[in-house]
């Protein structure tokens, strides 16, 4: 048993090292990739458009639930005027970045992994190499940068629509005063709260894109290999999102 767990630890360390090396190569490839903004924009569109609908729907329902639960909780203390702040803070600092990241991993991350994995399996990456085109620069880096840019944008959309949903329930259904809902929110939210949300979404964007691209790039070049890599993307992304969320929250306290 101890033998097995030692091997497991070794394997995990090895994978971490490989990923770190890959990250270094990826960053190096990002510099020349910036000279081709069209490839990056195409990937922002790819990752963003793929997830837009589910982000908007999830944002709306999350906001509506916040409106209901927040109202139910706050009215016990006679503090329903604080509903706007409560909804805004939870969306901005936690629910927005984390839920968007989880949805992004399931939708755009898996698509990235399987796309790159299939390019590997069908020799497309090798063909590029032989045509003297670096696939790190042409395939991996634009997808990484695209995800890195798309996730914060999607998070912003999630938060705005979530606020609209909270307002829909709180103000339109439960009768909280509209003026109080918005003005309390405006006066109570500090720059630090916004920064926390932005930092989280950028970090998630970098880590999730790295995971998706790395898994695809190193997938076994077979149908099962690509399937396994896709699963690993979802699992690793979810765990990393929640873990980093805790670390970043603690750092911002």
Partner 1 sequence: MADSQPTLHPAAETDAVIDVRDVHYAIDGRPIFAGLDIRVCQGLITAVMGPSGTGKTTLLRLITGQIYADRGRVSAFGREVADMGRAELYATRRRMGMLFQNGALLTDLTVFENVAFPVREHTDLPEPLIRNLVLTKLEAVGLRGAAQLMPAELSGGMARRVALARAIVMDPEVLIYDEPFVGLDPISLGVILRLIKQMNDVLGITSVVVSHDVHEIATIADHSYLLSDGRVVASGSPAELAASDSATVQQFMTGSAEGPVRFHYPAADYATELLGAERG
Measured from the Cβ of residue 31, the count of other Cβ atoms closer than 10 Å reads: 10
Q: Which two tokens stand for residue 135?
A: 């696939």
Please give the angle made by the CA atoms of 224, 150 and 62, to the nearest 5 degrees. 90
CA nearest neighbour of 71 among 2, 208, 154, 171? 171
Q: CB 61 → partner 1: shortest distance, Å?
A: 33
Does position 124 interact with partner 1 (CB under 8 A)? The reply is yes
Q: CB 125 → partner 1: shortest distance, Å?
A: 9
Q: Choose which of 7, 11, 72, 123 interacts with partner 1 (CB under 8 A).
A: 123
46 vs 184 by CB, closer to partner 1: 46
Measured from the Cβ of residue 147, the count of other Cβ atoms closer than 10 Å reads: 29
x/- mask, partner 1, residues 63-102, rule CB under 8 A, reads ----------------------------------------
List Cα–Cα distances, 57 to 26, 34, 52, 147, 170, in angstroms.
33, 33, 9, 20, 18
Query: For residues 102 and 59, what is the distance between their CA atoms, to the nearest angstrom?
Result: 12
Does position 127 interact with partner 1 (CB under 8 A)? The reply is yes
Q: Choose which of 52, 60, 118, 153 interacts with partner 1 (CB under 8 A).
A: 118
Does position 247 interact with partner 1 (CB under 8 A)? The reply is no
19 vs 124 by CB, closer to partner 1: 124
Alpha helices (runs of H) in the chain, residue ranges in sequence order: 2-33, 37-75, 83-90, 96-104, 110-121, 124-130, 135, 141-167, 178-188, 191-217, 223-252
Residues 129-188, interacting with partner 1 (CB under 8 A): 129-134, 138
101 vs 116 by CB, closer to partner 1: 116
**Total site size for partner 1, rule CB under 8 A:** 15
119 vs 157 by CB, closer to partner 1: 119
Query: Could you list the residues that contact partner 1 (CB under 8 A)?
Result: 118-119, 122-124, 126-134, 138
């Amino acid at each position: 048993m101890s033998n097995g767990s030692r091997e497991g630890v070794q394997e995990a360390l090895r994978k971490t090292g490989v990923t770190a090396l890959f990250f270094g190569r990826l960053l190096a490839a990002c510099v020349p990739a910036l000279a081709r903004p069209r490839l990056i924009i195409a990937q922002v569109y790819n990752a963003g458009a793929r997830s837009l609908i589910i982000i908007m729907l999830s944002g709306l329902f999350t906001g509506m639930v916040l409106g209901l639960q927040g109202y139910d909780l706050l009215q016990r203390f006679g503090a329903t005027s604080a509903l706007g702040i409560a909804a805004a803070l939870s969306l901005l600092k936690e629910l927005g970045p984390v839920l968007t990241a989880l949805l992004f991993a399931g939708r755009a991350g898996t698509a990235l992994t399987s796309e790159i994995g299939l390019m590997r399996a069908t020799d497309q990456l090798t063909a590029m190499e032989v045509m003297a085109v670096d696939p790190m620069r042409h395939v991996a880096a634009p997808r990484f940068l695209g995800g890195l840019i798309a996730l914060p944008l999607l998070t912003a959309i999630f938060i705005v629509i979530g606020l609209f949903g909270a307002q829909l329930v709180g103000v339109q259904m439960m009768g909280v005063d509209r003026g109080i809902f918005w003005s309390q929110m405006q006066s109570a939210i500090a720059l630090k709260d916004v920064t926390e949300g932005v930092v989280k979404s950028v970090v998630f964007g970098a880590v999730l894109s790295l995971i998706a691209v790395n898994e695809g790039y190193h997938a076994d070049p077979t149908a099962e290999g690509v399937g396994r890599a896709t699963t690993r993307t979802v699992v690793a992304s979810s765990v990393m999102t929640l873990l980093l969320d805790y670390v970043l929250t603690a750092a911002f306290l």
